[in-house]
Structure 1
Amino acid sequence: MSIADVAIVGAGVVGCAMARRFALEGAKVVLLERGADLLSGASKANSAILHTGFDAPPGSVELSCMQAGYAEYQAIRESFNLPLLETGAMVVAWSDAEKAALDGIEAQARANGIHDVRRLTASEIRAREPQLSHRALEALLVPGEHVIDPWSPFLAYLLQAKSHGAEIRFATEVISGGFDGDIWTLQTSTGEQRARTVINCAGLFGDRLDARLLGTASFQIRPRKGQFVVFDKAAAALLRTIVLPVPSERTKGVVLTRTAFGNLLVGPTAEEQQDRERATVVDDTLRGLIARAVEMIPALADAGVTAVYAGLRPATEEKHYRISAHPDRNWITVGGIRSTGMTASLGIAQHIYKLYEEMGHRHVPVAAPATPRVPNLAEHEPRDWQSAGYGEIVCHCEMVTLREIEQALSGPLAPGNFGGLRRRTRCGMGRCQGFYCNARLAQLTAGHFASPLAVGDAA
């Protein structure tokens, strides 16, 4: 069996970015993911906001990774055909206490190098966002905060990694392993894997992986559930700027934002739970989210809801990232990457590669990297149905074409389940949640998934 330079465990946003970075640096990479597809865990429910880091802890690894990740995404996105919905964001004060807190948030933003922030008076808020409740007292405008596609970047990163030799093994859980002082031998659900270095990007199970293979874990995952409500596409016309709350010590709070797919999103909640596998939606909580959204934009009282969903974040007993290197064991842990992980992912990969080099490892970087272009899913950019020869519209709610479905299923990194197909095409994610298109999708995907799509499935 060949020996990989690096085995990365977990194909969430961080694992995908990590595989890309190490492959581009010339390392022989294998990526091990227990789910059937990329972003099968916490990462599939990210909020898709590209953060500047204006409110990150000053001087922190989180801040440096966020800003490096932000810069790299901006530098590479056009070559990958990745969208950017330029919105800006406002941290809105709804009470006198929150208004007083804006001074500290502005000072922190400037200390973090975000110098284009500025205060908005109540009248300036109304001029910018006429549908926002007049209860808004003041705001801090952060022009650099934007919205992206929450899934396609990470498909692009894996496609690039794969094109430079990375091996990607889905439905592969790391069960045990041993280190002989030079090589790790990992026992997985799909066979043995040998690697010189292991990078733990296992997200919600990162502490357990450390405990299982290192004998101890320096942190404890405390799953934090976030519930979301997605309003119908017509609601997106009511807002153009991301509306952020004044954050608390525990959470960034509930956000109101447009999505790249033409909807309006409110969420997430922040609810600690024990279960690391399931994130269920709760009717009372969802009603509370809708009520909060209506408080902010009264016209949403008449808006329909397209979907509700919940996701889990790998929070720990401490707020900061839990990154640690173990040079004597050829092991690096990347734990506790919470809500900022999507933005920071590329920067985290840069940071980890530097730690890897400090452990004495060197490779020859790829001289002329291949850059695969992924299909655009964003509503503000041209979609496939607008080009001739698409065959048929399979999902009318999201205008997903037969050509898009067929290309996804036959591509170099085909989806491993229906969730993966949804994240590659948006099929079944619209107003009817697959009610009208699932029968056709079941036909088209027959033989492609280990668990066949049954008519009526919506997950």
Structure 2
Amino acid sequence: MQQPTQALTGQFDVAIIGAGIVGCAIARRFSLAGARVVIIEKALDILDGASKGNSAILHTGFDAPPGSLEQACIRAGYEEYLTIHGRLGLPVLRCGALVVAWNQEQEAALPALIDKAHENGVTNIEPLSQAQLREVEPALGPLAQAAFRVPGEYLIDPWSAPFAYLLQAVENGAEVLRGAELTAARKEDDWLLETTRGQLRARLVINAAGNFGDLVDEILIGRRNFTIRPRKGQFVVYDKPAAALVQHILLPVPTAITKGVVVCRTAFGNLLVGPTAEDQDDRQHAELDTEILSGLMRRAEEILPALKSHEVSALYAGLRPATEYKDYCITAHEGLSCITVGGIRSTGLSAALGIAQHVETLADHTFTPPANPAWPTVRNISQFQERDWEKPDHGGIVCHCELVTRREIMDALTGPLAARSLAGLKRRTRVTMGRCQGFYCSAELSHITSGHFDQPMAEPTQ
């Protein structure tokens, strides 16, 4: 076992509970502000909860409730991502989105959606007739009636972004405590936090615990102001040739409950369909449902009939931290030096940087920013920028489906945010995520990763 397992103790300015997308963005924000930050994560790796499953879209917030905190955070997060992504080495596929109406009722709803977009400051909306829609997306099914284009909706890498945020935090002094569950907390002059890996003190505590946010609030402040009931979203990933069927992100006319089923390319060169929306009580397990997935594929084939001749390469599901409220539940608890960031549903990837900005304004502490903050660059794993296999001396390709090199794997297994599980390694490199789902490379991976994971892939053979 090569990862450090000793308890982390000490005094911090800011302690963040949860290393999901939002927690990573908040850690970055406060580290760049000059705070001594610790991020506490009960899983063995980061992004292991709600953040591991999403549609990887950078949203403009055109369809968010006008005047909501969610809309403000999406807009701010969107703008900051486009400002900083190049310095961090993060990709953007500037493809735009189409909101497509599939019947007369949905077509009648398009003008109101355009008005909402204008109210949210997204004014470059382009209405499309049926003929214009067919011209830009000829593979659409015959029932497509009309649409409007949102040019600013983009595709990004959903895992490298939060990894980059946390890496920048670490390189500016933050510390990460993984495999550490918060078990108790007491407010004295500062907060005394008990975890399964030791005791910490912090001046400010931020609850970004995702699907467990209400339970963490009970530990911190003795009550919950909202209740999480996770909303499961199931996805179908089609093999890479299917990505040629579309150019835009295809969005449905949203309902009061969900944005609906999206069809889009991914940063990794596949075609994604989903998510579904099913509320459940289980906060940890997102089980796949064969019947629902079959219905999702039928809907995908109605949107793009040519999908009938394309193969599915993967199925997955994620849990979104839905609450009884439509807006985000972000609260600074008066007199407690504690901020709760809850109910961040499907828009967390787009809003994370904006949420971090907002949380910083709620903090009643000031810090001295570093004179020369570090700006690390993460290795690109997206399909639309140069990959490591295209560069010399990479040590050979281990995962041939996703063209993952030995150098990429070894880099991901070392350093301050080294992968400590196969799931974490997947999110850092794409290894085992292709057509064969690890059938061919798992044996070699078990040797390469020996001694690096808390739970080994397999016992190495002689």
| TM-score normalised per structure 1 | 0.97
The residue aligned with 2:389 is 385
Matched to 1:17, the amino acid is A
CA distance in 2, matches of 1:197, 1:20: 15
Counterpart contact for 1:230–1:305, Cα < 8 Å: yes
Q: Tell me, which stretches of 5 or more residues in structure 2 are unaligned?
A: 1-8
Deviation at 1:407, TM superposition (A): 1.1
User: What corresponds to 1:69 in structure 2?
Assistant: 77
Distance 1:59 1:288 in 2: 35
What is the match of residue 396 of structure 1? 400
The amino acid across from 2:105 in the alignment is A
Paired residues in the alignment total 452
Q: SS of 1:332's equivalent?
A: strand
Shift of the alpha carbon at 1:118?
A: 1.4
Give me the whole-angstrom Cα distance separating, in 2, the residues matched to 1:310 and 1:44. Answer: 9
| Aligned pair partner of 2:326 in 319, 325, 330 | 319
Which of residues 367, 370, 374 is equivalent to 1:370?
Answer: 374
- After superposition, the C-alpha distances for 1:119-178 in whole angstroms (9 at most, x for unaligned) are 101111111011111311110110000100010011111111011110100001001110
| Aligned residue runs from structure 1 range 36-435, under 5 A | 36-180=44-188, 182-356=189-363, 359=364, 361-435=365-439
For 2:255 and 2:446, the matched residues in 1 are separated by 45
CA–CA distance in structure 2, aligned partners of residues 67 and 286 of structure 1:
32
Quick one: which amino acid aligns to residue 346 of structure 2?
A: S
Contact 2:69 2:328 (C-alpha < 8 Å) held by counterparts? yes
> Displaced runs of 4+ in structure 1, greater than 6 A?
none
Distance 1:170 1:2 in 2: 15
Report the AA paired with residue 409 of structure 1.
L
Of the three residues 439, 447, 454, the one matched with 1:450 is 454
Q: CA deviation at 1:390?
A: 1.1
SS of 2:183's partner is: strand
Alignment partners' CA distance in 1, 2:97 and 2:31: 34
Report the alpha carbon displacement of residue 2 of structure 1 after superposing the two structures with TM. Answer: 3.0
The alpha-carbon deviation at position 86 of structure 1 amounts to: 1.3
Superimposed CA distance per residue, residues 294-336 of structure 1 (whole angstroms, 9 cap, x where no aligned partner): 0000000011001000010000011110011113111000000
Q: CA RMSD in A?
A: 1.1
8 Å Cα contact 2:57/2:350 also seen in 1: yes
Which SS does the other structure have where 2:263 is aligned? strand
In 1, the alpha carbon distance for the partners of 2:314 and 2:323 equals 29
Give SS of 2:377's match.
coil
In 2, distance between residues paired with 1:150 and 1:298? 28
Work out which of the residue numbers 18, 24, 36 in structure 1 matches 2:26: 18
Percent of aligned pairs sharing the same letter: 55
Shift of 1:82: 0.5
Q: Offset of 1:214 from its aligned partner?
A: 0.8
CA-CA distance at 1:46 after TM superposition = 1.6
| Conserved? CA contact 1:122–1:134, under 8 Å | no
User: 1:3: which partner in 2?
Assistant: 11
Give the counterpart letter for 1:32 in structure 2. Answer: I
Indicate conservation of the 8 Å contact 2:413/2:420, yes or no: no
> What is the CA-CA distance between 1:206 and the residue it aligns to?
0.3
Q: CA deviation at 1:369?
A: 1.5
Quote the Cα distance in structure 2 between the aligned partners of 1:106 and 1:405. Answer: 45
> How far does the alpha carbon of each residue in 1:63-106 deviate from its partner, in whole angstroms, 9 at most, with x for none?
11101100110011011110011110011000100001101100
Question: 2 CA distance for matches of 1:66 and 1:386?
Answer: 35
Query: CA deviation digits over 1:347-398, x for unaligned, max 9?
Result: 0000000010xx2x11111222211111101111111111111111100000
How far apart, CA to CA, are the structure 2 residues paired with 1:426 and 1:414? Answer: 15
Secondary structure of 1:71's counterpart equals: helix
Q: Is the 8 A contact 1:126 1:134 kept in 2?
A: no
The CA distance in 2 between the partners of 1:47 and 1:12, in whole Å, is: 15
Amino acid at match of 2:132: E
